[in-house]
Amino acid sequence: MPYKPQSEPGKTDYQPDVQITTLGEKIGDPAAPADFPKHILRFRNDRWDQSVGLDELSEEQWLNHFGKFEPLADNLDPPLALRYHGHQFRTYNPEIGDGRGFLFAQLRDHEQRLMDLGTKGSGTTRWSRTGDGRLTLKGAVREILATEMLEALGVNSSKTFSVVETGEQSMRGDEPSPTRSAAMTRLSHGHIRIGTFQRIAYEKNEKLMHQLVAYCLDHYYGGAQSGDPAAELFAHATREVAKLAGAYMTAGFVHGVLNTDNINITGESFDYGPWRFTPYWEPAFTAAYFDHEGLYCFARQPEALHWNLAQLASALRLIADSDPLVETLETFPKAYGTAFTEHFCWRLGVVSEGFEKDRDLVVAAEKGLAAKTTHIDRFFHDWCKMDDLAKPDELDPEFADFGSLIAERGRSRKPNSRYWQQPEPCSMHIDEVESIWNAIADKDDWSPLSKKIENIRNMGQALRNG
Ligand code: AMP
Ligand code: MG
């Protein structure tokens, strides 16, 4: 099956629909936003605000909701800091939860999906431990860049919805400090994490586990179809997380912190900290400086996600038999292989010739990329822009196998977008991320960020439409 990227934004009216409270008071705790000295609008997602009917808010209204966090009409009041646990670098941590964010609102999008607006950097909560509840402005800018790039590359990701600079200075051990701060809001297809299930299993709360399984099936997967809802939900999550693994690899993306509290039950990628895009196809490329073992390095991401699914299965054992869970868990490698092949062919823009031939093509491309003579984005860009796919003689020798396999293929899109005329691919390597941030830090110059977002969105358009 050809890969189908997530939906495009559309237009709808504001449709509040608070469902989280049906799960009772053990799912989250009332939270209060911090009282920030300033509210300066730095980013408003003008693609996605219309999709939840918030595009007509004035700037003042926007800042009231996404800087001061005044509740949206008929929505959560107060917001809820969600409870969860998680395995962090494989060690179980029962002390975490929303420590610098909360679920601010729930509302329907243009496809009637139940969406969450969740915050990061909005102040301390019951779960902050020793943290300050804040997000650095650099962290917010990095999250904008990651989410825009992933969306363009067809990865199922949360959207950065709003960034408001708060006028506060924060201290960080790993950034020049004091540093500017921001309150960020993300638009996400839910905030139920594997860690949410782990916490409920830890507390042996069978009733809530049943309720949460039903909630996820109803709101994210079209409702229960069988007499074994936990196994059914696990099958959905396994399929979607396998797709996520395939998408990360195709994008050359390294999330950096694939802990179970950062994995959404919908398989939507979210929570961007020390992420990076690897320039070359380098299996050991690691994003987080504190990931000393390379646990979450580029090529180990599918394995890390599979391991996380095993933790979900283990939590679901509270209310389900193990056999169907284990059976589903074993489907992951194949599901991942299929998802990776489909996504890679989508990015190449070639017509599918069935799984086996597609897989052989991807293996040949990977072999060429593994020689590390060509950046990943350059490779895709050059193929996508070519008038004629059949030019194997122009290829470097490491891509000879790829060239002979691709020569006979058809295109699935026309390379007629102006984006493809650019000599350079749109990448997101660390030097550029730092230089976009430095323009803001040194001169308060936001134009490199705006230009980059425009270029990324043009690439996304070209990949989707030709
Ligand atoms: P993360 O690695 O960003 O997914 O965060 C892991 C946990 O630490 C979550 O429970 C966060 O809410 C919490 N956390 C991270 N940074 C802060 C902070 N500055 N203040 C309070 N809690 C934080
Ligand atoms: Mg997190």
Q: What is the pLDDT at residue 250?
A: 98
Q: What is the pLDDT at residue 414?
A: 80
Residues 111/116/122/125 CA torsion (nearest 10 deg): 180
The tokens for 119 are 């915050």
Q: Does the pTM of the predicted model rise above 0.85?
A: yes
| Measured distance CA(170)–CA(176) in Å, rounded | 10
Q: Nearest ligand, CA of residue 273?
A: 1
- In ligand 1, the atom with minimum distance to the C-alpha of 262 is 4
**pLDDT tens, 117-127?**
999 999 999 99
Q: How many CB atoms lie within 10 A of CB 278?
A: 22
| Measured distance CA(188)–CA(118) in Å, rounded | 7
Residues surrounding ion ligand 2 at CB below 5 Å: 262, 271
Q: What is the pLDDT at residue 125?
A: 98
Side-chain-side CA neighbours of 463 within 13 Å: the count stands at 30
Q: Atom 22, ligand 1: which residue's CA is nearest?
A: 99
Q: Atom 17, ligand 1: which residue's CA is nearest?
A: 131
Angle between helices 430-443 and 447-465 (to 10 degrees): 140
Q: What is the pLDDT at residue 392?
A: 65
**pLDDT tens, 216-241?**
999 999 999 999 999 999 999 999 99
Q: Which residues of the chain are modeled with pLDDT < 50?
A: none
Q: How many residues does the chain have?
A: 466
Query: Which residue ranges make up each domain of the chain?
Result: 20-195, 205-339, 365-464
The tokens for 14 are 């504001």
Q: Atom 12, ligand 1: which residue's CA is nearest?
A: 99
Q: What is the pLDDT at residue 466?
A: 61
Q: 157 has which bridge partners? A: 269
Q: Which residues contact 72 (CB under 8 A, 6 or more apart)?
A: 14, 16, 54, 65, 104, 105, 107, 117
For ligand 1, residues with CB inside 6 Å are 96-100, 127-128, 131-134, 257, 261-262, 271, 273
Do 101 and 122 touch, CB atoms closer than 8 A?
yes
Q: Which of 334, 310, 317 is nearest to 228 (CA)?
A: 317
Do 105 and 17 touch, CB atoms closer than 8 A?
no
Catalytic center residues: 261
184: left (phi over 0), alpha (psi -120 to 50) or beta: beta
Q: What is the pLDDT at residue 415?
A: 79
Q: Give the SS3 label for residue 193.
A: strand
Q: What is the pLDDT at residue 386?
A: 73
| Measured distance CA(249)–CA(367) in Å, rounded | 14
